[in-house]
Structure formats: C-alpha cells, structure tokens
Structure 1
Amino acid sequence: MAIGLSVFFLYCPTPVTAQELKTSSYGVSYIASEKSYKHTLKKDNQKQMVELKTKMPGLVYDLRYATVNNFVKLPLYPVTTTSTFLRLPAANALQQVQQELKQKGLGLKIFDAYRPYSVTIKFWELIKDERYVANPSKGSGHNRGLAVDLTIIDLKTGIELDMGTGFDNFSDTAHHSFTQLSTTVLQNRKVLKEVMLKHGFTALETEWWHYYWPNNRNYEVLDLDFKKLNKFTQKN
C-alpha cells in the first residue's frame, strides 16, 4: 500500500482516499470507478471529462482503435465505441481550434483522445517498445484525457488534408522535423501545428497527429470504460 500511495501522490495533487484507488502491476495508481472520478470533480471541476462531439458538433470521428484499421490490426476498444473524451480545459481549447479552422473552411477529424489505462497495458503487452506505445509504468496523456490524435479535413468534401503519412505511421516521415515533403504537405502540417500551439497544446515531435495538454501529471490516470463514462457525462 505504501508503494501505491507514493506513486499516487507523485501523479495526483488532489488526493482521493486509498480505498478508492487501484494500483497496477506497473506501480501506477489509477481511478477505475465512477465514485472515485466524482470525488476528484468535487475538488476540481476542471477535471471533468467532456464528450467531444457533444461540445463540438461537426467533429468527425475515425476511432481507429475500435476497428482493425490500426497498427496492431486489432480492435483495442469495443467495436461499438462511438464516443471519445478530453478533460474540460483541453476540450475548451480544442473547441477554439475548431472554431478558428471553420473560418477557413476546415474542420477536425479525431482518431483518438481519452484512452483507458487498461488499453495502454494491452498495447504494451503486444508491442513493448516505447518508440511506438506508452510505457504503462508512467501512464500517458491519453490515459489522463489530455492527449488527442487528429488531422484536418476540408469541410466541403470531408477529405483529409495531405499530411504526408497516415495516422500511426512510425517512420521518420511522420516527424515534425522531417522536411523532405511537398510544399503542400509541409503547409498542411504547419496549419495544424500553429493552430494547436496557439490554443495551448504541445506537439509530439515524432507524430504530426499527436498533441497534448501541458502539465498532464496534475491529472489522474483513468481506467473508465467508454460506455459508463458516456452515461455519466450525459447526466452532468
């Protein structure tokens, strides 16, 4: 128990009781119940999870990990998953991104956002390579509801702008610093990066599609399934 609590306080400045926590075999304490999640909201309502389409009508979802169309070729989420979430500050910022892009006739397509901690463990058990998946001994921005994988679409056609690679391409070509690309691709990446950074997100150098809200260690790791989380957010 002492080990679990020490890790928990490292990651969580707003403590919940030890009885409300679970600790993984990787030493990370996380929230796995609605009760524990509600407790954190009483202390800080900025920690609430927001279903993105509910807040931002017009978003397009292509939730790859609910399909076989991803780099592990397996659905890691229930195939019925139709919702995704971010914490309130990140969701508010993404809404500003959407509004700014809309003025240019552009929109957003979301590949992934909140990811239950148990799914990160599944990824790790399949791959076990930090170049491609998060190490569950740390917990990720996705697990905290603060990271989003996305691209830009043309609102008239719904077609994605050319970013040079697809989502979850792990070659150097996907890096922000890779410049051996067409002028169009470089400009498209620049548009996405500039608008995301303008509204407070941070870019991950190795993945043009991945952005995260800073100071993510101020938020607990979550392992709440999509169905229950969707019902809870609808009630609130």
Structure 2
Amino acid sequence: MPTRTMLTALALLAGTATAMAETLPENFVYLADIAPQIRQDMRYAGDHNFVGRPITGYEAAECILSRPAAEALRDAAIELAEQNLVLRVYDCYRPARAVADFAQWARDIDDLAMQAEFYPRVDKSRLFELGYIAERSGHSRGSTVDLTIEPAESAPTPWAHGEALLDCALPDRYPDNPLDFGTGYDCFDNHAHHGAAGINPEAEENRKMLADLLDRHGFAPYAEEWWHYTLRDEPFPDTYFDFVIAARPD
C-alpha cells in the first residue's frame, strides 16, 4: 500500500508533468497572450476543414507562434485597427504530426467527404503534384500564419457539421471572409493564387491590403494561397517542431 510520502512524491511528479506539458518551447507564445485583439478561428481543431475532422496534434483551438511572429502580427493588428478592421487567424504553428496526418489523408483517394467545398475541381490524387499537400510545412517552424481581415463589428458565421457544402470559389460560398478575398480559406483552386485571373476588383484590393499590411510588418506571401504568410526573419528557419497544441494555461 502506498505511503503518504510516496503519494506526495507521485502528486509532485504529476504536477511537474502537467506543467511541462503546458510549457511551450523557448521563444514560442500563445498569440492570445500577445495580441488578444486578433480573433482566432482555428480550423484544424474542429470539423470545418478540408479533411472534415480535428487534425492530429490540435488538442486545443489555440494559435501558437514564435514570439517574433506574434509580436509582428500584433503590430499589424494595431495598425489595422485604425481602419476599424481586425485580423482573424485560421492556423498558426502546425505540429509535424498534423502535416503527416494531412499526407495520410491525401493518400486515401476515396475519402472525399469535404471535396464539394474545398477542392471541387481538383482530382484528389493530384493534391501532392499540385502542391496543395506536402510532406513538410513551413507552419511547423512556428512563424507562418493563415489569416484574413474582417470588419471589427462582424461576427463569424457558425458552421454546423453536416450542413450543405458550398464551393469555396463561388460568390455564394460559406461566408468565412466578411471582406471578399475571392475564395474561402483553404480553397484548393487556382483562384486562391496571388495574381489569379478572374478575381473581382474588390477581392484584388483586399488581397493587396492584406499583403501590403503584412509586408510592412515583415511577412512574405506564399504565391498559391492569399491567406498564407511567413515572417521573413523567422527564428527557426531549419527546425520543424512537433509539440502538440495544448490548451493555454489559465
């Protein structure tokens, strides 16, 4: 039977393990601690994404970034507030195990549950070839973010599992971008590319506004996705992290 001393030691070890689980690697932060005014809609912690379920490694709907990236994003949000606009992030740091989960899903060409919304014109067998899915992601280095801009008075439209899927490149798509950017988030479509043909002038202006804002604060765009930006002077350019996204400590 355990003694009082043994039970105390076990409790201390459990507390230490919990604390370690909640501790981020050095120079990483929860965005909410740095820039609480930035809204978070962490798609891979839920069902509304191109896979249709929570992704491995997303144990909480929290944005985690390297400190320099979080601070640069905070400064961009402060500038944007002058126009009564706010940033909303969809994804930030992404564990390597989540990237592997995406790759495994992509190889299952019969799983087409979310195709009607996220890749209606793309043969799933070509997702690797077309660059929509990769074996490694810059998100795992901690300084890449997927985001949009919306009016400060707007509110996200709740998405219910099982509701009709709407083509992400059509005007009547799911309204996840209160400002028009030409497509929805994670739209595997040519219209999501910077400089794509067929984008209406308002969407082009909004893409330019986002690009110019983030450029002023040190972020570079990814050509194939209007929502994807990486801090140019990222602190971990050669390191792909794999710690889980856990709940932010109280």
Shorter-chain TM-score above 0.5: yes
What is the percentage of aligned positions where both structures have the same residue? 33
Match of 2:87 among 105, 108, 133: 108
For structure 2, the residue ranges without an aligned partner over 5 or more in a row are 1-19, 108-126, 157-177
2:35 to 42, 56, 81: 56
- With structure 1 as the length reference, what TM-score do the two structures score? 0.72
Q: CA deviation at 1:57?
A: 1.5
Q: 1-side partners of 2:75 and 2:56: how far apart?
A: 28
Amino acid at match of 1:143: S
Residue of structure 2 in register with 1:201 after alignment: 219
Moved beyond 4 Å, runs of 4+: 77-80
Number of equivalenced pairs: 188
Q: Which moved more, 1:153-162 or 1:52-61?
A: 153-162
Is 1:218 aligned to 2:231, yes or no? no
In terms of fraction of residues, the more helix-rich structure is 1
The answer to whether the 8 Å contact 1:179/1:186 transfers is no
Q: What is the CA RMSD across the aligned residues, in angstroms?
A: 2.4
Evaluate the alpha carbon distance shift between residue 118 and residue 166 of structure 1 in structure 2; reply closer, same or farther with a 3 A threshold.
same
Instruction: Return the offset for 1:204.
Output: 0.4
CA distance in 1, matches of 2:53, 2:30: 24
Is 2:162 the partner of 1:144? Answer: no
Could you tell me which residue of structure 2 aligns to residue 96 of structure 1?
75
Distance 1:82 1:70 in 2: 13
CA distance in 2, matches of 1:120, 1:203: 20
Structure 1 stretches of 5 or more lacking a match? 1-32, 42-47
What does residue 122 of structure 1 align with?
A: 101
Tell me, yes or no, if the aligned pair for 2:57 and 2:95 is still in contact at 8 Å.
no
Q: Which residue identity is paired with 1:70?
A: N
Aligned counterpart in structure 1 of residue 210 of structure 2, from 180, 192, 195 = 192
2:200 to 166, 182, 189: 182
Match of 2:151 in 1: 154
Secondary structure at the aligned position of 1:104 is classed as coil
Superimposed CA distance per residue, residues 102-135 of structure 1 (whole angstroms, 9 cap, x where no aligned partner) = 0011001110001111111111111154311231
1:132 aligns with 2:132: yes
**CA distance in 2: counterparts of 1:80 and 1:221, whole angstroms:** 18
| TM-score, normalised with respect to structure 2 | 0.68
Say whether the 8 Å CA contact 1:62–1:111 is kept in structure 2. yes
Q: Contact 2:151–2:179 at 8 Å: present in 1 too?
A: yes
Greater Rg over alpha carbons, structure: 2
